[in-house]
Amino acid sequence: MVGQGAERLSRERAARRLANEARGGSLLMASTLLAPATLMVALGLVLPILILLRYSFNKFDPRLMMVEAVTLENYVKFFTDPFYTNVFWTTLRVALLCTLVCLVLAMPLAYVLARSESRYKNVLLMLVVLPLFVGNAVRAAGWMTLFGSKGALNAALLEVGAIKVPLQIMFTEKAVVIGVIAVNLPYMVLTLQSVIEGIPRQTEEAAFSLGAGPWTMSRRILWPLALPGIVAGVILCFILAMNAYATPVLLGGPQFKMMGPLVFGQFRLNNWPFGAAVAFVLMTATLVLTGAANLLVQHRYRRGRSP
């Protein structure tokens, strides 16, 4: 069986190669099509990132701001000072928590949207997208009026007598988590919805007809088939949460620190070398974690598919 399969695969590959060559210059064609985007990314992203990396090895001088040097002191400062490592762990904690909550909240909603045959489906989808029409800062401003000590929420709770003193939500981690979830949820819902839509309904019906309950079906059929999309949604959400700026600044207040605002703060102080180092720590951590998650899931996915 295995031998036959491998033979068929290599035959298919050869046929594909022949077909490509017959079309003539398809490789050239492909590179021409890829070139503009590659060039844009190289010039607009890779080059500035390399410059930033170089800055992160420079020295800071209060008078001259940035002095050319090759030193690791900015990174050492970050990793040896508990203040900065705390900021890092807070960021990671908030990002993971928000991603998890988004996943749990988005899954049922995405499922209903994907399987809905209502003529209002497009309206429902629009309602999910609607919050994205408003900028993050504006949305945070909305939360501020809701969460403030004399905001709508506290006023209502005080009025009905549920609480005696106003709840302190503004300028806490709670407020940031709620704000970030609200920002990221539509992304998660949309990603999951499109993936679930691609899973044939018949696979679920087959499971049900074989006696699986809804829970078993979700666990054994829906979850594994939707896994690539779930990973995409989780990664998207996680990256957005790790790099959140407006929400932690506006809802977290001055005493709450996350990496995004920390990077900005260092550049405001004109401490470019340290700002660059913090930016690199954030970027590397995000990349490594998303890469690791991706690899892990791919590994399990492949193992799950093998007979």
Q: Does 250 bind other proteins (CB under 8 A)?
A: yes
x-marked contacts with other proteins along 122-151 as a string, rule CB under 8 A = --------------------------xxx-
Q: Does 119 bind other proteins (CB under 8 A)?
A: no
Element (H, E) at 61: strand 59-61
Q: Of 4 and 255, which has the nearer Cβ to other proteins?
A: 255
Q: Of 90 and 193, which has the nearer Cβ to other proteins?
A: 90
H-helix segments, 24-120: 26-41, 47-55, 73-80, 82-115
| β-sheet bridge partners, residue 66 | 60
d(CA 96, CA 99): 5
Among 10, 31, 71, 270, indicate the residue that binds other proteins (CB under 8 A): 270
Torsion angle, CA of 38/41/43/49, rounded to 10 degrees? -140
Q: Does 63 bind other proteins (CB under 8 A)?
A: yes
* In the complex, least distance from residue 150 CB atom to other proteins, rounded to whole angstroms: 5
Q: Does 62 bind other proteins (CB under 8 A)?
A: yes
d(CA 155, CA 125): 32
d(CA 96, CA 292): 14
Among 267, 289, 294, 297, indicate the residue that binds other proteins (CB under 8 A): 267
Please tell me whether residue 248 adopts helix, strand or coil conformation: helix
Q: Does 60 bind other proteins (CB under 8 A)?
A: yes
Q: Hey, what long-range contacts does 267-274 have (CB within 8 A, 24 or more apart)?
A: 270/65, 271/60, 271/65, 272/55, 272/58, 272/60, 272/65, 272/66, 273/55, 273/56, 273/57, 273/58, 273/59, 273/60, 273/66, 273/74, 274/60, 274/74, 274/77, 274/78
Site for other proteins in 271-290 (CB under 8 A): 271-272
Q: Does 269 bind other proteins (CB under 8 A)?
A: yes
Among 5, 83, 209, 302, indicate the residue that binds other proteins (CB under 8 A): 83
Q: Of 137 and 292, which has the nearer Cβ to other proteins?
A: 137
Q: Of 71 and 118, which has the nearer Cβ to other proteins?
A: 71
Tokens describing residue 244: 């959140």
Q: Which stretch binds other proteins (CB under 8 A): 41-49, 113-121, 238-246, 249-257?
A: 249-257
Total residues at the site for other proteins (CB under 8 A)?
22
* In the complex, least distance from residue 280 CB atom to other proteins, rounded to whole angstroms: 19
Q: Does 268 bind other proteins (CB under 8 A)?
A: yes
Q: Are 290 and 228 in contact (CB under 8 A)?
A: no
In which residue are the tokens 């209903």 written? 112
Please give the residue ranges that form the binding site for other proteins (CB under 8 A): 60, 62-65, 83, 148-150, 249-250, 253-255, 257, 265, 267-272
